[in-house]
Amino acid sequence: MKNILLTGSSGFVGSYFTDNYTKKYYINKFSFLNDNFDELSLSNTDTIIHLSALVHQMGGASEEEYKKVNVTQTIDLAKKAKERGVKHFIFMSTVKVYGEEIDIAYTENTTCSPQDDYGKSKLEAELELQKLEDDDFKVSIIRTPIVYGYGVKANIKNLISLVSKVPVLPFASIQNKRSMIYVGNLCYMIDTLIGMTNRLDCFVPRNDGGSCTMTDGLDCHASLAMTGETEEGVRLPRFARNDGKVARNDGDEMTRGNIFLASDDEPLSTTRLIELIANGLGKKVYLVKIPFFESLLKLVKPSFHKRLYESLEVDNSHSMKRLFGEDKSSLPFSVEDGIKFMLNDKDK
């Protein structure tokens, strides 16, 4: 059994992972709030799953607070892990590194342009982690949209409360697309990544037969001036990168970076999400369309309008292919399953 160090274990993602994977891994926990970092021993630790973070705060948090928790603590932990011989560091990031709502789906290669301090701090942490990566210390970055499941808070919790209390809602026929991921599917992806530790060189898709693009602007230029060699002795072409390093082009389309997008198999419109929540609660909710309501909401509460009417979709088909071997493999839980488990206190 592998030894795992888990941060953020008290959150609902960490709790799910602990509850469901203790028979597969030895899971040790660390809290930056309650434990002494200087006394943290990483002896015999194989993989770190770093979930601890200062997430987006509706009431606001300072830039310094985001940087301290999301960047400084992350890099301090990663540096110690590398020094102590830990092989794999899994970092939970966010699609907020791309920016805000948009009409096209984000992919691994979308240019990052975070708009708030939360997204900026997560992107900075990603970039600093990638600088630490080498053949003996692998970094995997998972960018998630909204994660839901039993114990979820913030927007999803508020929507559940609204649906449970109000029988008529003005949200009919909304055609937006919002990606989310059920906590069980996210932990399944984490589990898969742990099992891939020994063959993680990097996974960034090539755009065509002659070049590949590193996420966040690290370009790979096709150059056969250098060659690589697999463990079996088969020589493979390599690609020179503009940062002086080398990315190998093999059947798994590997190069440095290891950025993965997490998402359920289908995005939901706000209307469909409300319908699923109502069904799960056993509530009869009537959705109606009120003239000018959307325009009024956009004027009075633009942040609410953005979350309810605009799209934030990710296309993680390539991440799925790299993880599971075929394009857009299905994750264990459907959206319907996830909503049902979230509402009935039965996360699986």
Same-domain status, 10 and 69? yes
Q: Rounded to 5 degrees, what are φ and ψ at 294?
A: -60, -45
> So what's the pLDDT on residue 154?
81
User: pLDDT: is 19 or 212 the higher one?
Assistant: 19
Q: What confidence tens digit (pLDDT) does each residue in 54-89 have? A: 887 656 688 999 999 999 999 999 999 999 999 999
**Domains held by the chain: number:** 2
Is 119 inside any structural domain? yes
Report the candidate in 297, 293, 317 with the shortest Cα–Cα distance to residue 307: 297
> So what's the pLDDT on residue 13?
94
Same-domain status, 10 and 104? yes
Same-domain status, 312 and 292? yes
CB 345 within 8 A of CB 150: yes
Is 348 inside any structural domain? no
Same-domain status, 320 and 305? yes
Q: What confidence tens digit (pLDDT) does each residue in 245-295 have? A: 333 333 333 333 489 999 999 999 999 999 999 999 999 999 999 989 999
- pLDDT greater than 70 at residue 214: no
Q: Rounded to 5 degrees, what are φ and ψ at 53?
A: -165, 160
Same-domain status, 106 and 242? no
* d(C-alpha 70, C-alpha 98), whole Å: 16
Same-domain status, 110 and 225? no
Is 253 inside any structural domain? no
- The residue segments making up the domain with residue 224 are 201-248
Q: What is the average pLDDT value for the chain, to the nearest integer? A: 82
Q: What confidence tens digit (pLDDT) does each residue in 290-348 have? A: 989 999 999 999 988 988 999 999 999 889 988 888 655 679 999 999 999 999 876 56
Same-domain status, 127 and 238? no
Is 280 inside any structural domain? yes
- pLDDT greater than 80 at residue 218: no
Pairing type for strands 235-241 and 246-248 reads antiparallel
Q: If you search the block for the tokens 């488990």, which residue do you land on? A: 341
Mean pLDDT (whole number) for 118-138: 94
Same-domain status, 84 and 24? yes
- 3-class DSSP assignment, residue 19: helix
CATH of the domain at 59: 3.40.50.720
Which stretches of the chain are DSSP H helices? 12-21, 63-66, 73-83, 117-132, 154-165, 183-195, 270-281, 293-300, 302-309, 317-324, 335-343
- pLDDT greater than 90 at residue 194: yes
* d(C-alpha 255, C-alpha 134), whole Å: 12
Same-domain status, 47 and 106? yes
Is 254 inside any structural domain? no
Q: What confidence tens digit (pLDDT) does each residue in 154-179 have? A: 889 999 999 999 999 999 999 999 99
> So what's the pLDDT on residue 68?
95
- pLDDT greater than 80 at residue 233: no
Which one of 248, 276, 307 terminates a domain? 248
Same-domain status, 182 and 277? yes
Is 124 inside any structural domain? yes
Structure tokens at 181: 């991921």
Same-domain status, 75 and 43? yes
